[in-house]
Amino acid sequence: MGTEASGREHGGTRVLVTGAAGMLGTELVPLFRREFDVTPADVAEFDLRDAAATDAFVAEAKPAVVINCAAYTDVDGAESDPEAAFDVNAGGAGNVAAAAERVGARVVQVSTDYVFDGTGDTPYAETDEPRPLGVYGRSKLAGERKVAEACTDALIVRTAWLYGHAGPNFIEKMLSLASSGRVLRVVDDQVGAPTNVRDLAGAILELIAVEATGVVNATNVGSCSWFEFAREILDLAGHQDIPVKPVTSEEFPRPAPRPGYSVLSLARLVSLTGKEPRSWQDALAEYLAER
């Protein structure tokens, strides 16, 4: 990754990470501390929905780079409480970007595959027209636009199907259900790219190093359905005997609509960084080995 050289170059650079206590933030902060002077912040430090509080904190921190990992991520909950989702994902993101712009800091905003409707069958490029299906996706797209308006050279990183050691995730849910003795029912008509937050944090580091701007997709390589992901989780964890039944989204209704196909093209990421992320299978194997 060229971290030694960039560490010598950027060691005194201050990076503010919002949402530092979250799944991505807990991987990103220690990684960035190898190279940067990191200021971690979460709700205990300031509420990004409060523009004045955000301005004050960012002005005091004096960062050169602000990475906004904070987000309202309850996809189903957003359907019944859209105001809460937009307050954080759109208003909060805009507040952070505006505050960063005022102190001359570069901005990195983390976004999602849910900005697409999933009706395609080839990986979505950064230039494809977003058409979110639900409130969560619309709130994240609104956040992208507010960030881009506030900072013309902002970096917006779209990712998908995140999991990590800090917080609940699909892997832990499957392993918990494996002990129930029931046949597991998992949807097989939603396809995406499972992504380890460790790899996403590394991709963000690489993109900052090359001073990337605009929208860039970042996930692990490859794709699968949730059913295929579940089967791989159980097999790698030694639960090959646990039965898993593929079902349709209609058979497993949820409050929020999900894109049927939300694989993101990694061509721009690879072009910018010169590196291809590892496969989702390898990233999953590492995660399971570390449990």
Rounded to whole angstroms, the Cα distance separating 217 from 207 reads: 11
Six token digits for residue 65: 């780079």
Name the residue type at position 170: F
HSE-up of 97 (CA within 13 Å, CB side)? 26
18 Rama sector, left if φ>0, alpha if ψ -120 to 50, beta otherwise? beta
Beta-ladder partners of 247: 187
List residues bridging with 64 in a β-sheet. Answer: none
d(CA 181, CA 11): 52
* CB distance 76 to 255 below 8 Å: yes
Which residue numbers are catalytic? Answer: 136
> d(Cα 24, Cα 202) in Å, to the nearest integer?
11
Handedness of CA 265, 276, 288, 202 (dihedral sign): negative
Distance of CA 252 to the CA centre of its chain: 24
Q: Does residue 218 contact residue 200 with C-beta atoms inside 8 Å?
A: yes
Q: Sort strands 37-41 and 65-68 into parallel, antiparallel or unpaired.
A: unpaired
Question: Under a CB-based contact definition with an 8 Å cutoff, are residues 90 and 143 in contact?
Answer: yes
Q: What is the token pair recorded at 242?
A: 């646990």
